[in-house]
Copies of this chain bind each other. A is one copy, B any other.
Amino acid sequence: MLVNVFIIGIGMIGGSLGLSLKESPIVNQVMGYDTDKTSLEKAQQIGALDCSVPFEEGARQADVVFLCTPPGTYPELITRMRPFLKPGCIVTDTGSTKQYIMSILGQLPNDIHVIGGHPMAGSEIKGINGADRYLFENAVYILTPREKTPDYAREFLIELLVATGARVKIMEPARHDELVAVISHIPHLAAVALVNSTGGEKDALIMAAGGFRDTTRIASSDPLLWEDILFTNRNMVMNKLDGLIEQLQDLKLALAREDHEHINTSLCRARSVRESIPRVHRGLLPGFCDIVCIVPDRPGIIAHIGAILGEKNINIIDIEILRVREGDGGTIRLGVLSEAAADEAVKALQSRGIKAWVR
């Protein structure tokens, strides 16, 4: 069975879905709809869509509808598409919270197969310019089917998503919202609170080393988007925020009663849990091995290192400049795919007089 896919909202997510779904052997055509003409044109240019269609026509022809607009638009879109959808059509979305969204998608009649979706991937480039055929590769992609949705519809959507390379996981909407609250929404609020705790004091900010920057990076995200996410998962966020506050109060009490053992236990537990996070770097590659090298800081040095490793057919899959100063040496971390490759890379670099070691 070849299906017609209808993507509503052709931005970074919608565009990326289009690019990968066009590669699927079970797709007949990918149709797109957006209120922004430029995005539609760009999407067709880069091959993310077969065609752009009027909303009604898309809804009428669709076997699978992907909602890739902000969740605030869903109620209106659902109302508009409802009269035109074929019985048996799958409607799915890509929003960040699922209970609230399922209550909206749930308004569709029973002969429409409603399956919530949340791909755990994104790009720092917004809109269609951020579209990327591999955006979802190896990323976790949560699906939350409506209770009435038959298994075959769910299986069909999973088969369709194979083209994206995502790792699909089925979940209850409430469970999804609980997990994203813990792993995403609460860390976000913590970063916001940490930054605001500085009161913006200049003296404090100039002392901000890497630790503070890392911890608060997400506080630079789009406030409007996050306001929306937080309010559509409000109860869970409030609940988990209580959990974080309790953890902090527990640490404070341990400090107050000078309970070294309790502090030490908490620090050790945090370290061991954090190190158990599956090491899929940037969400996209299996475990790899790091080497560190010290190099002079001059134009071409990255090329030089790259060439030394390229000669040995060693692929650099991650690179980070740990420290650098103009006119002199820098410290660079390189990620390669295996320990054997790391050993070989170290040898190759050392043979060219570059200080290097496996981390």
- List A residues at the B interface (Cβ < 8 Å): 120-125, 132, 134-135, 137-140, 142, 165, 175, 179-180, 182-184, 186-198, 200-201, 203-221, 223-224, 226-227, 230-231, 234, 237-238, 240-245, 247-249, 251-252, 255-256, 258, 260, 263-264, 266-271, 273-278, 282-285, 292, 297-307, 309-311, 313-326, 328-329, 331, 337, 359
Q: A249–B329 Cα gap in the complex (Å)?
A: 46
Q: Are B324 and A318 in contact (CB under 8 A)?
A: yes
Q: A270–B274 Cα gap in the complex (Å)?
A: 25
> In the complex, which residues of chain B have a beta carbon less than 8 angstroms from the beta carbon of A196?
247, 266, 269-270, 273
Task: Tell me how many chains of this kind the complex includes.
Answer: 2
> 16 A-B residue contacts at CB 8 Å?
A124-B322, A179-B207, A183-B209, A186-B194, A188-B211, A190-B248, A194-B244, A195-B269, A196-B270, A198-B273, A227-B260, A231-B255, A245-B245, A299-B310, A301-B316, A317-B324
- Whether A183 touches B208, Cβ cut-off 8 Å, given contacts A252-B242, A260-B227, is yes
Q: Are A183 and B210 in contact (CB under 8 A)?
A: no
> In the complex, which residues of chain B have a beta carbon less than 8 angstroms from the beta carbon of A198?
182-183, 273
- Whether A179 touches B195, Cβ cut-off 8 Å, given contacts A190-B248, A211-B217, A238-B256, is no
Q: A70–B321 Cα gap in the complex (Å)?
A: 28
Q: Can you name 14 extra interface pairs (CB under 8 A) apart from A200-B273, A208-B277?
A: A132-B323, A140-B206, A183-B212, A184-B207, A187-B215, A187-B216, A197-B240, A242-B252, A245-B252, A248-B248, A299-B310, A302-B302, A302-B319, A303-B303
